[in-house]
Amino acid sequence: MSRPIVGIIGNSHMISDTYLVHAGGYHSSCAISKVADCTPVIIPTDPELVGIEELMSHFDGFLFTGGRPNVHPEEYGQPETEAHGTFDRARDAITLPLIRALTERGQPYFGVCRGFQEVSVAFGGTLHPEIRDLPGRMNHRMPPDGTQEQIFELRQNVTFTEGGVFHDLMGARQVMTNTLHGQGIDRPGTRIVIDGVADDSTPEALYVRDAPGFTLSVQWHPEFNAVNDPVSTRLFTAFGDAVRDWARRGRRPILKSA
């Protein structure tokens, strides 16, 4: 029996500074295949190559991944500065309208790191260009050196809203996670519910209010070691269940997005 198909948002990447590719991390594909139990397919995220409606027609769910390029500040009404880092405008052009269209249709998606930020920006939210520069905040960036295990070490505590969606899913109000991001949510977008925060108040978990489908998103990287980490396993299992439910019910007519 064929499994539901999850589109993994790809990132533009240059090999040896000469050859452009659209790539996705192994851990993302592994989490979708082995934990969510869906078929992972990497999407070349460029409006010259794919369109919103065809993506929604061909895939049952979507994973909005992390990536080194950041959402361009023009997408939330701010000027570009050096602190904002590098960008991928082609990805912006696909992911932001896709998130809005999926939300209204009730089609499941899961946002991770940059994907978490994209969900908020898609609904009018703004981002801090550099979290560690804010008073009282910790450095959420990955350690500059170290093994993969050290980079993805569980080093921050995330607290969920009492009785909230994440609390119910995890069966606990507090969990330990990794943290590998420079930017973060400043003002949440309309309909965005911040349902979990780090000890320094940085938003770490959200969902879209009154959305008819799965919209859970997190700032950390649950795809790493998702098979063995219980927090990650719960997230990807719930996402896989939502994708299977969508596939079982059949794909609905696509709503025209603004």
Average pLDDT over residues 66-92: 89
Average pLDDT over residues 155-177: 97
pLDDT at 144: 67
The H-or-E segment that residue 85 falls in is: none
Average pLDDT over residues 30-48: 97
Q: Is residue 257 pLDDT above 70, yes or no?
A: no
Q: Is residue 253 pLDDT above 60, yes or no?
A: no
Per-residue tokens: 243: 């994708």
Average pLDDT, rounded, for the chain? 92
C-alpha to C-alpha distance for 193 and 56, rounded to whole angstroms:
24
| CA dist 18 → 43, 91, 237 (Å) | 21, 20, 38
pLDDT at 39: 98
Express each pLDDT in 222-250 by its tens digit: 999 999 999 999 999 999 999 999 999 87
pLDDT at 136: 77
Residues in the chain: 258
Q: Is residue 181 pLDDT above 70, yes or no?
A: yes
In the chain, count H helices and then E strands: 7, 13
Q: Is residue 258 pLDDT above 50, yes or no?
A: no
More confident residue, 249 or 207: 207
pLDDT at 121: 98
Q: Strand 203-208 to strand 174-177: parallel, antiparallel, or no bridges (unpaired)?
A: unpaired
Q: Is residue 135 pLDDT above 90, yes or no?
A: no
More confident residue, 250 or 117: 117
C-alpha to C-alpha distance for 186 and 40, rounded to whole angstroms:
32
* pLDDT interval class at 252 (50, 70, 90): low
Express each pLDDT in 151-163 by its tens digit: 788 899 999 999 9
- At a CB cut-off of 8 Å and minimum separation 6, what does 51 contact? none
Domains, the chain, in order of start with CATH, read 5-249 (3.40.50.880)
Lowest mean per-residue pLDDT among 85-94, 112-121, 135-144, 172-181: 135-144
Greatest Cα-to-Cα distance within the chain, rounded to the nearest angstrom = 53
The H-or-E segment that residue 84 falls in is: none
pTM for this entry: 0.93
